[in-house]
């Protein structure tokens, strides 16, 4: 099976990650997960929630080894990270 490689600029990853987070993920996780970190695959919109970026990335990579990951800290508008 052939795989497709999608390349994004850093700005595109940030834009897509924030859009996915605020549109799809924040309404689901913000009530009970303040301070935890969400790792988001900007290609699929799938995500994993962990106590920190390392844990959430590991959980997401178990399912999606080639994920293009953007991080958001739940309840904090300033933590945004690209991996």
pLDDT, tens only, 26-53: 999 999 999 999 999 999 999 999 999 9
At 52 the pLDDT is: 95
Helix, strand or coil, per DSSP, at residue 37 = strand
Rounded average pLDDT over 1-24: 83
* 29, two tokens: 């996780």
* 63, two tokens: 């399912």
Helix, strand or coil, per DSSP, at residue 17 = helix
Helix, strand or coil, per DSSP, at residue 48 = strand
The model's confidence at residue 1, banded by pLDDT at 50, 70 and 90, is: very low
């Amino acid at each position: 099976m052939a795989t497709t490689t999608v390349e994004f600029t850093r700005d595109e990853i940030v834009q897509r990650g924030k859009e996915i987070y605020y549109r799809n993920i924040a309404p689901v996780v913000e009530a009970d997960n303040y301070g935890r970190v969400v790792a988001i695959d900007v290609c699929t919109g799938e995500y994993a929630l962990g106590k920190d970026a390392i844990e959430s990335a590991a959980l997401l990579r178990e399912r999606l080894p080639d994920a293009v990951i953007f991080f958001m800290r739940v309840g904090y508008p300033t933590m945004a990270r690209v991996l």
